[in-house]
Amino acid sequence: AQSVTQLGSHVSVSEGALVLLRCNYSSSVPPYLFWYVQYPNQGLQLLLKYTSAATLVKGINGFEAEFKKSETSFHLTKPSAHMSDAAEYFCAVSVFTGGGNKLTFGTGTQLKVEL
Amino acid sequence: DAGVTQSPTHLIKTRGQQVTLRCSPKSGHDTVSWYQQALGQGPQFIFQYYEEEERQRGNFPDRFSGHQFPNYSSELNVNALLLGDSALYLCASSPDRFGEQFFGPGTRLTVL
């Protein structure tokens, strides 16, 4: 079964510092991987996705992620954190069946950005 | 272009009651998926509708049922509500069964 694991339920960084949120996946087939962001009392917004093309994926708001098959990882990074980045971030893997496609999410990482 | 919309925004029910949540997909999308997000957790897949039929289902009891209408909008019904059903219910639409999913703002259900 395909799954993702997010290491660190809470991450705190200073404004301007590097953001690194970790995600490892388990999949018997080449995975489609996603990062979503969720602001308080809102739905999920797609930050970026990996669909077996380039291994370095650039997303919105300056975020990027690198797919590393040897490490089964898809970590999310941003060179310089901004206060507006404070939110919850979810890594997800797409699970394809005969019926369709469903997303399996990690448990989330709450990002706090401090002055 | 309106994105995915959901109604109501918030809902309070008591144990044993029944609830219906509604979702209108993004224009051009024909597939709707529903997810349950308990407090402090990641979303969990409930089921997916395409061509007015449930095509796949997650690990949820039969108390959870759904419907898709000819205009592709969808309803999620939950019967015999339990306290544990309190959660944010997210609807996602996609251009087809295998396409990228776009999420709505969710409906916050509180069961007392």
Average pLDDT per run of 10 along chain A, which is 115 residues long? Answer: 92 97 92 93 91 90 95 97 97 86 94 96
Q: CA-CA distances (angstroms) from residue B76 to B14, B49, B67, B90?
A: 17, 11, 7, 10
Percentage of chain B modeled with pLDDT above 90: 92
pLDDT (average), residues B39-64: 94
Query: With bands split at pLDDT 50, 70 and 90, how would you rate the model's confidence at B42?
Result: very high
pLDDT at B1: 66
- The residue among A98 and B44 whose pLDDT is bigger is B44
Contact call for B103 and A44, based on CB within 8 A: yes
**A38 alpha-carbon distance from chain centroid:** 11
- DSSP helix/strand/coil, A50: strand
Which residue out of A35, A102, A107 would a mutagenesis test of the B interface target, given it has the greatest number of B Cβ atoms within 10 Å?
A102
Contact call for B43 and A103, based on CB within 8 A: yes
pLDDT tens string B55-71: 999 999 999 999 999 99
Give the pairing of strands B10-13 and B107-111: parallel
pLDDT at B27: 95
Q: Flag whether residue B46 sits within 8 Å of chain A, measured between CB atoms.
A: no
pLDDT at A28: 83
Q: CA-CA distances (angstroms) from residue B40 to A39, A106, A107, B10, B88?
A: 13, 11, 8, 18, 11
Q: Report the length, in residues, of chain B.
A: 112
- The residue among A36 and B96 whose pLDDT is bigger is A36
Give me chain B's average pLDDT, please: 95
**A85 — phi, psi (to 5°)?**
-80, -10
pLDDT at A73: 96
Asked if B7 contacts B1 with a C-beta cutoff of 8 angstroms, the reply is: no
Asked if B103 contacts B88 with a C-beta cutoff of 8 angstroms, the reply is: no
d(CA A27, CA B4): 29
pLDDT at A24: 97
Which positions in chain A touch B108 (Cβ < 8 Å)?
A: 41
pLDDT at A41: 81
Torsion of CA B6, B95, A40, A33, to 10 degrees: 150
DSSP collapsed to 3 states, B31-52: EEEEEEECCCCCCEEEEEEECC
Query: With bands split at pLDDT 50, 70 and 90, how would you rate the model's confidence at B32?
Result: very high
Q: Flag whether residue B104 sits within 8 Å of chain A, measured between CB atoms.
A: yes
3-state helix, strand and coil shares in percent for chain A, rounded to the nearest 5 = 5, 60, 35
Q: Flag whether residue B48 sits within 8 Å of chain A, measured between CB atoms.
A: yes
